[in-house]
Amino acid sequence: MYDSASNETMVSGTIFDNYAKLFLIKFSISEERKSILDDTAQKINSDPMTAEMSEQFHKRLGVRLNNSSNAIEGLDLTLSQTELILENEIVALSPEKIIDVVGHEKAHKVVLRILKENRDLTIEDVLKINNSVLSGGDNAGCFRKPGMLARIRGRRVVTAHPVEIPGLMQKIVDYFNDRAVHVLDRLVNFHVMFVRVHPFVDGNGRTVRLLLALLSLRSDYGLFMINKNKRVDYFDAIAAWEDDCDTEKMGALFYQSMLEVHKIYTDSLRCKCVLA
């Protein structure tokens, strides 16, 4: 695929873009589902929580996001164990598990700072989130360098050549920031493009799921997350995109996940309590 390519063509990312059809095939939400999601989002925003309740509520959601995202990567912790680690309680767990939880929390705080600044996402933000997720290290917070080829566990998938990654990621970040595109479409398409490029040596999944949370929060759609019980469905949806350029499975999963998140919000608003 790259044998006769010029440096200019490589840097542009067009070879992998054409091969993987990154920007050619995109998910588009149906008008019916768009109406349902927009309606529930409007209900959430029309009856806002008090500042104190919102702070506690989103703190609890952050714990759930941490636990779910790490569980998708194979970390077998309960929600209570995750919460204890974040409260600096002494827990009888391996240092590696504690580092993963703490790293995710640091990255989540980066996301919240970007949200508070009310600005577009940048490449530097993406690098910073990945660096936090991995708690620093030799390959943390930087795109794969020449010679660093990505291997996706259990899959034979071609990912982007390291030389192509910066150009491709700038295009993907630009798409993330395109507010003219419906939020669910951006969630699905940004995710599949990011994972297909696989820009980092490690932490790609946790980084992209934190970015999905940022996107949904910035769009007043609540904090998007994927239930850890949907782990198999999630990886099946990724495989459907990588093998057959099929985004419908991911779109259906993200639609249901967004509805579940909206229900957490509406239930909490109904009882004026923190249910997350």
pLDDT of residue 152: 65
pLDDT at residue 239 greater than cutoff 90: yes
Which of 208, 218, 196 lies closest to 254, judged by CA? 208
Q: State the sign of the Cα–Cα–Cα–Cα dihedral 227, 228, 230, 236.
A: positive
Q: In this predicted structure, what is the pLDDT of residue 275?
A: 65
Is 110 annotated among the ligand-binding residues?
Answer: no
pLDDT at residue 251, rounded to an integer: 98
136 is in an annotated binding site: no
For the chain, give the percent of residues with pLDDT over 90: 72
Closest C-alpha among 150, 125, 136, 97 to residue 215: 125
Cα separation, 3 vs 71, whole angstroms: 39
**222: Cα separation from own chain's centroid:** 14
The model's pLDDT over 116-162, given as tens digits with 9 standing for 90+, comes to: 999 999 999 999 999 999 999 889 999 999 888 776 666 668 899 99
153 annotated to a ligand binding site: no
Residue 266 marked ligand-binding: no
Going by pLDDT thresholds of 50, 70 and 90, the confidence category of residue 214 is very high
Q: Which residues of 180-196 are buried (b: 16+ CB within 10 A; e: fewer)?
A: ebbbbbbbbbbbbbbbb
Q: Which of 58, 104, 161, 198 is labelled catalytic?
A: 198
Burial class (CB in 10 A: 0-12, 13-18, 19+), 154: exposed
Q: Identify the pLDDT of residue 3.
A: 58
Q: According to the annotation, is 203 in a ligand binding site? A: yes
pTM value > 0.85: yes
Would you say residue 25 has pLDDT above 90? no
Domains detected in the chain = 25-271 (1.10.3290.10)
Q: Assess whether pLDDT exceeds 80 at residue 44.
A: yes
Q: Label residues 211-235 b or e (16+ Cβ within 10 Å = b).
A: bbbbbbbbbebbbbbbbbebeebbe
Q: Are 192 and 250 in contact (CB under 8 A)?
A: yes
Question: Any residues with CB less than 8 A from the CB of 273 and at least 6 apart, and which?
Answer: none
Does the annotation list 247 as a binding residue? no
How many helices (H) and strands (E) are present in the chain, helices listed first?
A: 12, 0
Res 102 pLDDT > 70? yes
Helix boundaries (H) for 14-78: 14-20, 31-46, 51-72
The per-residue pLDDT for range 223-233, each reduced to its tens digit, is 999 999 999 99
- The reply to whether 108 belongs to the active site is no
